[in-house]
Each structure stands twice: as C-alpha cells, then as structure tokens.
C-alpha cells in the first residue's frame, strides 16, 4: 500500500513529466506521484528550456528522479519524444507539468489499457477536480 492507502504503483509503468519553468508547480505533481507510490527511479522530468532552476531543484530535493534538459524552449514535443524513446517499461504515464493527475485514476487507467479493452487518446477524469476548479473550469 502507498502512503495514500492505495495499492502499489503498477510495476510496468514509467512516468515522464514534460516541463517548462515548472519549479512552482512540480512540487505538487511530484508529491502526488509519491503519494501514488511511483518510485523516484521511474520518474523522469524533461525540462524544456527552463530558466527558473527547475533541474537544479529536482536534483537537490528529489534524488533519484531523472532530469533531462533541452536547452532551448521549442515546445513540449521534443521532451515527449525523448520520454517515449527512453521508456523502459511497457507503459508510460506521460504528463505535462501543469495538470495534476488524480492518483486514484492512474491505476484505473492502467487496468483498462493493460487489459487490452480500449485504446486511449484522451482520458476524461484523469485530472483532479481541484485542478479544474483552479483553472476556472467546471
């Protein structure tokens, strides 16, 4: 069980977060992943041209989390592509830094995909309702 009382994080899932100047939001994202039981050594942050010290902060405060740096901000796609190439497990939870995953839904999503029952393009309900409220959504 995780610190949030959830079953263990799926052993066949890597986590990648693509971020640009995400120093202010990444603590919440990483805290949620820790609560979900994601091991630090399976989390990678793809830092796209940040100027806010994101990479240095992760190296200091989140040992074991991998940081990959792209020097110039050319959008999120190079980070996403790098993450897809580096993933070593059958599944990759690929996140941007600003949405917060509802940790209860990570396992549900994994169960559906691993069961071969559906191909997922967009995932309604993956985001936490608290984040939708913060952004002015429903």
Query: Assign residue 125 a region: left if phi > 0, alpha if psi is -120 to 50, beta otherwise?
Result: left
pTM confidence score: 0.79
Domain 13-99 in this protein, CATH class:
alpha beta
pLDDT for 36: 86
In the predicted structure, residue 49 carries a pLDDT above the cut 70? yes
> Could you tell me the residue ranges of all domains in the chain?
13-99
pLDDT tens-digit map of 56-95? 999 999 999 999 999 999 999 899 999 999 999 988 888 8
Cα of 138 vs its chain's centroid, Å: 23
- Distance (Å) of CA 47 to CA 2, 77, 86: 27, 11, 15
């Amino acid at each position: 069980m995780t610190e949030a009382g959830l079953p263990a994080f799926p052993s066949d899932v890597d986590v990648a977060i693509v971020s640009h100047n995400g120093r202010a939001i990444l603590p919440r994202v990483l805290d949620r992943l820790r609560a979900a039981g994601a091991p630090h050594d399976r989390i990678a942050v793809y830092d796209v041209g940040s100027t806010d010290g994101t990479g240095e902060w992760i190296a200091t405060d989140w040992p074991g989390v991998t940081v990959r740096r792209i020097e110039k901000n050319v959008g999120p796609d190079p980070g996403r592509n790098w993450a897809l190439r580096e993933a070593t497990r059958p599944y990759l939870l690929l996140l941007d830094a600003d949405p917060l995953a509802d940790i209860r839904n990570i396992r549900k999503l994994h169960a559906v995909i691993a069961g071969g029952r559906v191909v997922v393009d967009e995932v309604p309900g993956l985001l936490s309702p608290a984040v939708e409220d913060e952004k002015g959504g429903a």
